[in-house]
Structure 1
Amino acid sequence: MDKLPRLGLPIIIGVVVLIIILAKSAVTIDSGHAAVLYETLKDGVDSEKPPLGPGFHIIAPWNRVIDYETRQQEIPEKMSVLSSNGLDIKLDASVLYEPDERNLGKLHNEKGENYLSRVLQPAIRSAARSVVGRYTPEQLYSTKRDAIQTEIFEETKKIVESQYIQLNSVLIRDVTLPPTIKEAIERKLKQEQESLEYEFRLVTAEKEAERQIIEAQGKADANKILSASLTDKILQDKGIEATIKLSESPNSKVIVIGSGDSGMPIILGNQ
């Protein structure tokens, strides 16, 4: 009986040590994350090994994992850049990105956990300066914003895609110009709009005048044709037809034959 406590103590200690080892060896990776394995007794992270995906993993207690979020992420960027004529322009942008999960080991070894500040942010700022410097403030404010957004995305992508970062989108939320420049552009745009409206009214009035001239000319031509076709004989025939119809009317009347101009009858009545 005295031997049992002496045998039980090492067992208990062994179980405790095993629990501690297992606790340090068990790693759970959350959904939307991946991890690289840092092997202390070797050369650190083996960039050729695939990363640890979401789920439960057992690793050697002397190793450790470095966790990376692999879902699409957003970073806001507020930048001050110069236009083509040297004016200070402020851009408010959002950058949507995610790390290249297949090359997570290379990203960690070459860029580190701070890859945003080391690679992505300098790249987006450099691209924005390059692109905005090709445009005037008026273009930035009105017609070219979508084109600028696309060009910044394309130039940034060229820089980061070879550095294990997947760029998904660059969104320009706002372009802020110096107040005096903004007011001058707005005045110019208003004047252009008013000029277009005036030109539209002139064109409309001119078309209406042309329509009236054509209509009047048509009526005049019709009257000429009609006048040319109405001979005395035709008028007499029409008069005879009208006289016959009136004579058949129940209304009282007196018809004097051959008393009107050109021998046409005169119709006398109480009306």
Structure 2
Amino acid sequence: MEKLPKVAFPFIIVAVILIIVLSKSAVTINSGEAGVLFKTFGEGVVIDEPALGEGFHIVAPWNKVFVYEVRQQEITEKMNVLSSNGLDIKLEASVWFQPDFKNIGKLHQEKSEMYKERVLLPAIRSAARSVVGRYTPEQLYSSKRDAIQQEIFEETKKIVEDQYIQLNEVLVRDVTLPATIKDAIERKLKQEQESLEYEFRLITADKEAQKQIIEAQGKADANRILSASLNNMILQDKGIEATIKLAESPNSKVIVIGSGDSGMPIILGNQ
């Protein structure tokens, strides 16, 4: 086997060094990520320049790049909080958030990659305890869920808005009350519902009775007016008209004998 000439060894060493340097210098930022540059022999964390965006970058091999996910993320927290009357409530909430891209260098410098544990989670716990403490278990269980969710979001946002974190949404996923309290609330709600249904039936029945009274009164008034407008001459005239119509009918056979007390013909039979 032929040996390599001695002059080739320096080139090989240089090539190896270049490969090592390039491997240390090449940084790829993936989709949805950003890089924070740390200059070892400079000012440290670079905060006065934009973060490294997606793609391939070359940095000095003695510097470091800390990669952050800048897409919207979700973190779920389960916690115990107290209601306004001191009852222990279990609350589960999800937080939608992302780092502030423009200030990601400051976020790294002041909070580090542990910003979720050091800032976001304590903020959501504090806000949840503050908000839930204003409400009774009945309100937490039924009508105030949306209001509580919005208030927790607003209180958490106040805490993190100057911490280089963009808060997008807070979702209250579950509120768990003590079993005895939950059963008592459900019984109370059921009784209230039954009471409302009973009141509705009473109101409906009362309206129906009033309607019948009005209809009966209307019929009575109509009959009284009709009776007052009738006299013997009108009745006799109506009788004559009816008799003529019967006599003119081709399907009738009418026999009239004498007359009645009123002077009207008496109809004995027809076919």
The answer, yes or no, to whether TM exceeds 0.5 is yes
Structure 1 stretch 143-152 or stretch 239-248: which is displaced more?
A: 239-248
Partner of 2:95: 95
Aligned to 1:247: 247
Q: Distance in 2 between matches of 1:246 and 1:39?
A: 121
Q: Which residue of 2 aligns with 1:163?
A: 163
Aligned length: 268
AA matched with 1:183? D
SS at match of 1:262: coil
SS of residue paired to 1:84: coil
Shift of 1:5: 1.4
Partner Cα separation in structure 2 for residue 46 and residue 26 of structure 1? 18
* Deviations 1:212-259, CA, capped at 9 Å, x for gaps: 0011111111111111111111111111111111222332221135x2
Is 1:234 aligned with 2:234?
A: yes
Give the aligned partner of residue 142 of structure 2: 142
Shift of 1:263: 1.1
TM-score by length of 2: 0.96
In the other structure, the counterpart of 1:123 is 123
Provide the secondary structure at the position in 2 that maps to 1:260. Answer: coil
* % identical equivalent positions: 75
After TM superposition, where is structure 1 displaced by more than 6 Å over at least 4 residues in a row? Answer: none
Give the secondary-structure state (helix, strand or coil) at the position aligned to 2:181: helix
> 2:6 maps to which residue?
6
SS in 1 for 2:71: coil
CA distance in 2, matches of 1:249, 1:118: 105
Deviation at 1:11, TM superposition (A): 1.3
2:206 matched to which residue of 1?
Answer: 206
Secondary structure class of the residue paired with 1:53: coil
In structure 2, the residue matched to 1:193 is 193
1:69 has 2:69 as partner: yes
- Equivalent position of 1:113 in the other structure: 113
Q: Distance in 1 between matches of 2:159 and 2:80?
A: 20
In 2, Cα distance between the equivalents of 1:79 and 1:147? Answer: 19
CA RMSD of aligned residues (A): 1.3
Shift of 1:207: 0.6
CA distance in 2, matches of 1:261, 1:166: 105
Which amino acid in structure 1 is aligned with residue 71 of structure 2? R
Amino acid at match of 1:93: A
Q: Quote the Cα distance in structure 2 between the aligned partners of 1:233 and 1:256.
A: 22
SS in 2 for 1:169: strand
DSSP 3-state at the match of 1:254: coil
CA distance in 2, matches of 1:260, 1:196: 65
Which residue of the partner structure matches residue 172 of structure 1?
A: 172
The one-letter amino acid paired with 1:100 is D
How much has 1:19 moved relative to structure 2? Answer: 1.2
Q: Which runs of 5+ in 1 are unaligned?
A: none
Q: CA deviation at 1:14?
A: 1.1
Q: Secondary structure at the match of 1:173?
A: strand
TM-score by length of 1: 0.96
CA deviation vs aligned residue, 1:154-175 (integer Å, no higher than 9, x gap)? 0000000100001111101110
Partner of 1:163: helix, strand, or coil? coil
* Structure 2: distance between partners of 1:80 and 1:261: 99
Q: Secondary structure at the match of 2:173?
A: strand
Greater mean alpha carbon deviation, residues 8-17 or residues 199-208: 8-17
Determine if the alignment matches structure 1 residue 151 to structure 2 residue 170. no
Match for 1:193: what amino acid? Q
Structure 2: gaps (5+ residues): none
Q: In the alignment, which residue of structure 2 is the partner of 1:37? A: 37
Question: Offset at 1:28?
Answer: 0.2
Q: In structure 1, what is the Cα distance between the partners aligned to 2:74 and 2:270?
A: 99
